[in-house]
Amino acid sequence: MGTEQNKWTKTSWKNFTALQQPKWPDMTAHDAVLERLSTLPPLVFAGEIRDLKALLAKAVTGDAFLVQGGDCSEDFSQVTAPNIREKLRVLLQMAVVLTYAGGKPVIKLGRIAGQFAKPRSADTEMVDGVELMSYRGDMVNSSEPLAAARIPDPNRMLEGYYMAASTLNLLRAFTRGGFAALHRVSAWNQEFVKQSPMGRSYERLGKQIQQALQFMETIGIDSNSPQMKQAQFFTSHEALLLGYETALTREDSTRGGWYDCSAHMLWIGERTRQVDGAHVEFLRGVNNPIGVKIGPDYDLDNVKQLIETLNPENEAGRLTLITRLGMKNIEKVLPPLLREAKREGYNIVWSCDPMHANTYTAKSGHKTRNFNDILSEITCFFETHWAEGTIPGGIHLEMTGNNVTECTGGARNIVDEELMNNYLTTCDPRLNAEQSLEVAFQIADMIRS
Ligand SMILES: O=C[C@H](O)[C@H](O)COP(=O)(O)O
Ligand SMILES: C=C(OP(=O)(O)O)C(=O)O
Ligand SMILES: [Mn+2]
């Protein structure tokens, strides 16, 4: 753990236990890849990271709301312009719905451009009676159910870097180049969503916004400002592969201080958040905003140690606690955490991941989540915060812009038997575009009332 006598360097984590690291078969090749990565340009720069932190500081006090979403595990073969565009489109739609209802800025943060490494519950899995090494994300091995494909290959980290760079390049083009301009709000509604109840609600909202913009133009207010023409969009992923993250960690040449320039925000997963573990040691030393997942079996003293290790100065915007407690547990286990954090005066962005503790396996064998369970956890999250006098600051979703059938329920009521129709995820089940929009409208209703 980070104590005074333990000076942080970008490799000090090597003196601690790092869980969930791949067993790379060829360490010479692995080290050569990291060497190459450490000479390649950073993917994001420190100024942008500081901008995100300043926005997150507003979410601590309820003056902004965080929407973080994207794939459980990004798939190299799905890094295409339409897929990136559709994901961005839904996130922009959700942000509009929530900005309109909440009357405060929405921070748009993708699980994108680097979400390529996965922690797993087991080292192996059975596929058609054959035991294979588990898939650990495209930066490690391939999801193809073949023994050879599952062998970790360090060159995949290099490929992942280039995939992240090209994704980010297109995101920057879309968000700066006119795609995200507010007067196009109705154009973000996808064809297959338009006909649904959610699509129609969105259409109405879009029209209201466009009328407001027209009114502003009529009375002479300039609608060409960057706020109207551009969107601020940030990237995040789980900082799991510490070698990769170290190679992308750079000292800010203007102001000093270390930044993990693989993404704007990094989070530590439920499986790797040991206070005396390597992931906590690494992330305590970089200046990015950091997220930590908190599952239902958390120990209160342990969480307090984590908070104090990762955010000793109690800087607002530095730390987001992403609770993923499950709809069955949240009512019982969230209040003690909120009370203690409030008593201590910790500055925290409280975000709700309603996905990871609501997973079940359908009869067909598909890993899935039910829309109503997801909604129950979200509702309880908001109500508990309001009851405790703390601030519900954000939402963390596994979602996609495509019309997948991975989570059951929602307005179209996908049933277990339909999961096979378009089940494309390589890891956890994602909300489809329509279900994601439905979540946004449900939250909008809650915050309005
Ligand atoms: O995305 C999160 C984890 O990697 C995932 O939930 C683990 O799933 P598993 O239990 O199938 O390994
Ligand atoms: C691994 C994940 O979550 P958790 O650490 O909460 O299980 C994830 O977000 O994909
Ligand atoms: Mn997941």
DSSP 12-76: GGGGSB-TT----S-HHHHHHHHHHHHHSPPSS-HHHHHHHHHHHHHHHTTSSEEEEEE-SS--G
| Cβ of 119 below 6 Å from ligand 1 | yes
As a whole number of angstroms, the distance between CA 28 and CA 297 comes to 39
Q: Give the Cα separation of 216 and 380 in Å (integer).
A: 38
Using CA positions, which residue lies closest to atom 7 of ligand 1? 120
How is residue 351 annotated by DSSP?
A: E
- Annotated binding-site residue numbers for Mn(2+): 72, 356, 398, 428
pLDDT value at residue 5: 52
Nearest CA among 114, 59, 96, 120 for reference residue 352? 59
The number of the ligand nearest the C-alpha atom of 119 reads 1
Give the per-residue pLDDT at 2. 45
Query: Does 189 fall in a domain?
Result: no
Please state, in angstroms and rounded to a whole number, the distance separating the CA atoms of residues 42 and 34: 13
Ligand 1 pocket check for 120: Cβ under 6 Å: yes
- Please give the Cα distance from 227 to 346 (Å, whole number): 32
On the 0-12 / 13-18 / 19+ scale of CB atoms within 10 A, 77 is exposed
Mutate which of 355, 368, 398, 427 to test ligand 1's pocket (most atoms within 8 Å of Cβ)?
A: 427
Residue with tokens 């049933």: 415
CATH assignment at residue 139? 3.20.20.70
**Is there a contact between 397 and 68 (Cβ–Cβ < 8 Å)?**
yes
> Is residue 174 included in any domain, yes or no?
yes
* Ligand 1 atom nearest to 72, measured from its CA: 1
As a whole number of angstroms, the distance between CA 227 and CA 181 comes to 8
Q: Which residues form the pocket of ligand 2, taking CB atoms under 6 Å from any ligand atom?
A: 72, 119, 238, 269-271, 293, 324, 356, 428
Classified as helix, coil or strand, 295 is coil
DSSP 93-134: HHHHHHHHHHSS-EEEEEE-SS------S-SEEEETTEEEEP
Say if 92 falls within a structural domain.
Answer: yes
Give yes or no for residue 357 CB within 6 A of ligand 1. Answer: no
- Ligand 1 center–CA 236 separation, angstroms: 18
Q: How far is CA 56 from CA 51, 157, 213, 381, 384, in A?
A: 9, 29, 27, 19, 21
Mean pLDDT by 10 residues, the chain (449 residues): 71 98 98 98 98 98 98 98 96 95 96 98 94 98 97 98 98 92 84 82 88 87 84 97 98 95 99 98 98 98 98 98 98 98 98 98 96 98 98 98 96 95 98 96 92
Ligand 1 near 62 CB (within 6 A) = no
Q: How far is the CA of 19 from the centre of ligand 2 (A)?
A: 14
Ligand 3 center–CA 301 separation, angstroms: 26
pTM of structure = 0.96
Which amino acid residue places its CA nearest to atom 2 of ligand 2? 269
Q: From the CA of 375, how far away is ligand 2's center (Å)?
A: 18
Does residue 202 lie in a domain region?
Answer: no
User: Residue 410 Cα, ligand 1 centroid: separation in angstroms?
Assistant: 23
Cα 175 to Cα 108, 168, 182, 357, 414: the distances in Å are: 11, 10, 11, 33, 32
Report residue 179 as tokens. Answer: 């795609």
Could you tell me if residue 193 is inside a domain? Answer: no
> What per-residue confidence (pLDDT) applies to 4?
47
Q: Which residues fall within 8 angstroms of residue 9, CB to CB, at 6 or more apart?
A: 285
Q: Whose CA is nearest to atom 3 of ligand 2?
A: 269
Are 110 and 235 within 8 A, CB to CB? yes
> Do the domain assignments include residue 17?
yes
Confidence (pLDDT) at 182: 86
CA-closest candidate to residue 371, choices 424, 316, 430, 315: 430
Q: Is 428 in the pocket of ligand 1 (CB under 6 A)?
A: yes
Look at residue 195 and tell me if it is in a domain: no
Position 289 in a domain: yes
Q: What's the DSSP call for residue 288?
A: S
* Domain total of the chain: 1
> Containing domain of residue 297, as a range?
12-180+230-448
Extract the tokens encoding 246: 């170290």
118 lines ligand 1 (CB under 6 A): yes
Closest ligand to C-alpha of residue 269 is 2
Which protein residue has the closest C-alpha to ligand 2 atom 7? 270
Most ligand 2 atoms within 8 A of CB, residue of 356, 399, 406 to mutate: 356
